[in-house]
């Protein structure tokens, strides 16, 4: 009766998952792969705490069934860096102290990451519009927006510094 395993790529690694194809990706990430960054918030795709990237796009993993992932690579907050060596966006969130309770932050970071990967120099209005889908109940939105701004400026700076040498 066991269903055939479904192969997905998460943070660059292949995994064979034995689960009902309708299982939300979020459950697979947390329960099968112990990637606990993405959070279960509302379970209805309304709060954004479960946001991960699939094929480069910010996606709500609580309403995305395992069956639709296919060959598209999944990236979670764990794929951006570690506590010791945070990625540039994670570093910006630390520097702006953008987390209060922290429950929404992994989702916020992944939605912001998707923006910065497709648009390295977003305007403030573009950041606001893009981040609007993710909710924070503590009210640290202003710090979150500043963190995304800081990361975008930092990455742009890096690119500018790198420019002449490469």
Partner 1 sequence: MQARTANERRKPPLLLIAGLLFLLAMVAAFALAWHPAIAPVATPAHDSFDSKRLARGRQLAAIGNCAGCHSAPDGKPYAGSVAIATPFGIIYSTNITPDADTGIGAWSEQAFRRALREGVSRDGHLLYPAFPYDHYTRLSEEDIGMLYAFLMTREPVREAAHGNRLRFPLGFRPLVAGWNLLYLDKGPYRPVAGQSAEWNRGAYLTEGLGHCSACHTPRNALGAERKRAYLGGGQAEGWYAPALNADSPSPQPWTVDELSAYLRTGISARHAIAAGPMQDVVHTLSHAEENDVRAIAAYIKSVQGEPAGQRQRAAASLQRASLGSLAAVRPSGQAPVAGEEQRLLYLGESVYAGACAGCHDAGRGIGSSAALRLPLAVAVYDPDPRSLIRIIREGIMPAPGETGRWMPGFAGALTDEQITALLAYLRRHAADLAPWPDVAAALKEASSP
Residues that bind partner 1 (CB under 8 A): 21-24, 44-46, 53-55, 57-60, 63-68, 70, 72, 114, 125, 132-133
Using the minimum distance from each CB to partner 1, give the nearer residue, 53 or 147.
53
The residue among 18 and 57 lying less far from partner 1, judged by its C-beta, is 57
Closer to partner 1 by CB, 50 or 98: give it.
Answer: 50
Q: Which lies closer to partner 1 via its Cβ, residue 38 or residue 99?
A: 38
Contact between 123 and 149 under an 8 Å Cβ cutoff? The reply is no
Provide, rounded to whole angstroms, the least separation between the CB of residue 34 and partner 1: 22
* CA-based nearest residue to 61, from 106, 91, 15, 16: 106
Q: How far is the CB of 129 from partner 1 (least distance, A)?
A: 9
Residue 68 near residue 55, CB atoms below 8 Å: no
How many Å apart are CA 87 and CA 113, to the nearest integer? 10
Report the nearest approach of partner 1 to the CB of residue 20 (Å).
9
Closest CB 64 distance from partner 1, rounded Å: 4
Q: Residue 160's closest CA among 118, 121, 117?
A: 121
The token pair at 53 is 């990237």
- In terms of CB distance, is 132 or 159 closer to partner 1? 132
Distances (CA, A) of 98 to 77, 104, 133, 162: 15, 10, 17, 28
As measured in angstroms, the least distance from the Cβ of 15 to partner 1 is 18
127 vs 19: CA distance, rounded Å: 36
């Amino acid at each position: 009766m066991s269903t055939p395993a479904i192969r997905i790529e998460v943070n660059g690694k292949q995994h064979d998952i034995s689960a009902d194809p309708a299982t939300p990706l979020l459950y697979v990430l947390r329960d099968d792969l112990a990637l606990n960054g993405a959070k279960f918030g509302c379970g209805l795709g309304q709060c954004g705490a479960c946001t991960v990237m699939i094929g480069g796009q910010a996606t709500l993993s609580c309403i995305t069934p395992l069956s639709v992932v296919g060959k598209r690579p999944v990236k979670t907050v764990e794929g951006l860096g570690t506590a010791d060596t945070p990625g540039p966006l994670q570093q910006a969130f630390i520097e702006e102290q953008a987390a209060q309770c922290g429950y929404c932050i992994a989702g916020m970071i992944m939605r912001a990451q998707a923006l910065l990967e497709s648009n390295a120099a977003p305007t403030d209005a573009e950041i606001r519009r893009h981040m609007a889908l993710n909710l924070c109940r503590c009210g640290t939105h202003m710090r979150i927006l500043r963190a995304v701004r800081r990361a975008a400026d930092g990455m742009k700076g890096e690119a500018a510094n790198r420019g002449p040498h490469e």
